[in-house]
Chain A
Amino acid sequence: MDDDLHSFLPLSPATLHILLSLAGEDLHGYGIMQEVARQSEGKYKLGPGTLYDNLQKLIQREWVEELGRRAGDDDPRRRYYRLTLAGRRVLEAEIARLAEVVREARARLQIARPSTGKPRRV
């Protein structure tokens, strides 16, 4: 199973952000867009076309499921989406991968730092 998961990694930025935004609570499409913008401090903006293209894919892979409409919502056209167990595992795997990348990167950058000056003569 883990091997299956890893074949999907690394995730595309859009997929990662969507999964991440659904990790906390169930959201509708516009909610996902707002959450993604908040997480990235406005640096990553998702358009509805990209969002639903990704959701379509995620639903097919069963990482996200559709919950349908909610009674009493402002806009009856909205549908809500939830992260499935499989989706959560993929997200966790991706986060672990990223953590490893970050750790490795930090170690490298620390070693590299002194050599940034002019070439020294021996």
Chain B
Amino acid sequence: MLRRIYRCVLRLHPPAFRSRFGDEILSIFDQAKGKLSGFQLLMDSMLSLIRQWTLRPEFWRKSVSAPTPHAALDGIPSFGTLNPFRPRAAGVVPGLILSIAIFSLTCIAIKYSWIHVLHVRIPEVQFQEPQWIPPNTSQPVFPDRTAASMPHDQPAMSNVPNAHDRTPKAASRAASNPSTPSAVASKAHKNGAVQPLPFPQPTAQQSKGNEIALTSPESEQTAAQPLAATAPSTFAEDMTLGAAARHRVIDGTSAIVRKYYVDAELAQKMAIALQDHETNGDDNEATDGPTFADLLTSQMREVSHDQHVAVIYSAVKTTENSPAPSAEEVARYTKEMKQNNCTFEKVSILPRNIGYLKFNSFPDASICGPTAAAAMAKLNHADAIIFDLRDNPGGHANIVALIATYLVDRPTHLNDFYDRSQNSTEESWTLPPVPGNRLADKPAFVLTSSTTFSAAEGFSYDLKMLKRATLVGERTSGRGHMGAPHRIDDHFTIRVPSMKVSNPISKTNWEGTGVEPDVKVKAADALRTAINLAESNLQKK
């Protein structure tokens, strides 16, 4: 065995050294084996290996037995290799088979291994869709990467908590009578709640603000959305902004902020700040669109410290109204969700009968309700349950309520959605208890990370406030406000958080602060920690 290892180490030496001295060294090994310890010999060869490759480059290719270099023919490139060894032709076939076998085994291991040692993230391009709901949308939708509101007239499966069967307090607009004028009026918006892009648009907008892209990459896509429906630009990019044009933009910005921004007081302050800066002549230098947009953004952030507020400049004209998603887009979203199993990545029973559910968004319950219900049904007999939201960027409020339903024994008030523009508040409640559900009193754990966003934060926060789950992991990102881009004029758009979530217990939300876990560990260690907690919890019983 030792000799084999020794030979391997010798083989790793530079070819010249190996071919000249390899046999002799091995002969010494054979002779000295009894006299010198095998370990010493091995260490010596290791040191020699390092020394030959690092300190002796001049000997790498020099060897008495080295083949003479081929004379390069004119115009034909020649290649040199460190190792003159050439495999037998017959050896290629087994080599090929072995390579394919190893590759296949690795793929299978990545796909099916229970412990995700390799977190291979396959970028889901189609998921890069807009999240921001336009103004006046009637259904609370958390901004996320998968959101696309769907019609609500789809049949619910029998094991799905029935959204039409709620207590009056649990009223959601999805369940409201469609014949009322307001519901009819809002129906058009429902389909248009979030418009998925056909594919990521190469953005023509001139926004220089990288921080905008960082705080909410999706919003820029939404802002750029009208581009898809607009004729090619006739706008001259080098057009300079005069004082009058700036004044119009500032007026428009102030009006929108005053009307939509979640906090009326801060909105007023921002509007005043913008006007003060204009009066003081601070804006005079900004004569091009992108600079001016950035300037306005920073002036408002100075006052509000809200990184979600942003003025975005687009070189191409934006249209008046954002088009509603076509039937085709709706169908594509549905198809995507079906193909992705509604982003439910893993449903399994871990040792000691601990249920584990990993899902990577909160998809629309009208499409994915049955999938969520099936997942919960599979875990129904578990003694404890772990929800893995570490890769969950959020989504729809209706599925937050649906999944939370399994953890409580009666309809429970989860959240209030306050819409500044309408000055209305909508309550979100869990649905009536699911018959046969056994999870209502089982210990629950939620795994969080710094990239747990929005609705996923809502789910964690609600369960924490209800003292219904133990949160394990990292503090979440802190996105508790929702908003949409509003058109200021042909080239300027503003993103304003207009809707906020408020928890009935804490009377506040996680905006900016994030949701603090009960047990703070690194996201990578969260599952192990939660399993340990669950096991010790079950042992006590």
Q: Do A and B share a complex?
A: yes
Chain A residues within 8 Å of B, Cβ to Cβ: 28-30, 33, 45, 47-50, 52-53, 55-56, 60, 75, 77-79
A77 touches B26 (CB 8 A): yes
A78 touches B27 (CB 8 A): yes
Number of A-B contacts (CB under 8 A): 67
Residues of B contacting A53 in the complex (Cβ-Cβ under 8 angstroms): 48, 51-52, 56
| Closest A residue by C-beta to B24 | A29
**Interface of chain B residues 24 through 64 with chain A (CB within 8 A):** 24-32, 36, 40-41, 43-45, 47-49, 51-52, 56, 59, 62
CB distance from A68 to the nearest CB of B (A): 11
Q: How many residues of B contact A (CB 8 A)?
A: 27
B 13-31 binary contact with A (CB < 8 Å = 1; else 0): 0000100110111111111
CB distance from B37 to the nearest CB of A (A): 11
B31 touches A30 (CB 8 A): yes
A56 touches B31 (CB 8 A): no
CB distance from A14 to the nearest CB of B (A): 12
Residues of A contacting B56 in the complex (Cβ-Cβ under 8 angstroms): 53, 56
> Which one of A45, A47, A50, A52 contacts B24 once the chains associate, using CB atoms below 8 Å?
A52
Residues of A contacting B24 in the complex (Cβ-Cβ under 8 angstroms): 28-29, 48, 52, 77-79
A55 to B28, CA, bound (A): 15
Known contacts A47-B40, A48-B44, A49-B44: A56-B21 contact under CB 8 Å: yes
A56 touches B17 (CB 8 A): yes
A51 to B48, CA, bound (A): 10
A60 to B63, CA, bound (A): 11
Residues of A contacting B48 in the complex (Cβ-Cβ under 8 angstroms): 47-50, 52-53
A29 to B26, CA, bound (A): 11
Residues of B contacting A49 in the complex (Cβ-Cβ under 8 angstroms): 25, 44-45, 47-49, 51
Residues of A contacting B47 in the complex (Cβ-Cβ under 8 angstroms): 47, 49-50
B 336-354 binary contact with A (CB < 8 Å = 1; else 0): 0000000000000000000
B29 touches A48 (CB 8 A): yes
Which 4 interchain pairs have the tightest Cβ spacing? A49-B48, A47-B44, A77-B27, A77-B23
A96 to B17, CA, bound (A): 33
Q: Could you jot down 20 A-B contacts, CB within 8 Å?
A: A28-B24, A29-B21, A29-B25, A29-B28, A30-B27, A47-B44, A48-B25, A48-B28, A48-B32, A48-B41, A48-B44, A49-B48, A49-B49, A52-B17, A52-B21, A52-B48, A53-B52, A75-B27, A75-B30, A77-B23
Residues of A contacting B43 in the complex (Cβ-Cβ under 8 angstroms): 47
B36 touches A45 (CB 8 A): yes
Residue picked from B28, B47, B56, B62, most chain A C-beta under 10 Å: B28
A55 to B56, CA, bound (A): 13
Residues of B contacting A60 in the complex (Cβ-Cβ under 8 angstroms): 59, 62
B31 touches A48 (CB 8 A): no
Residue picked from B25, B43, B62, most chain A C-beta under 10 Å: B25
> Which one of A28, A33, A52, A77 contacts B32 once the chains associate, using CB atoms below 8 Å?
A33
A60 to B64, CA, bound (A): 11
Residues of B contacting A30 in the complex (Cβ-Cβ under 8 angstroms): 27-28, 31-32
A53 to B59, CA, bound (A): 10
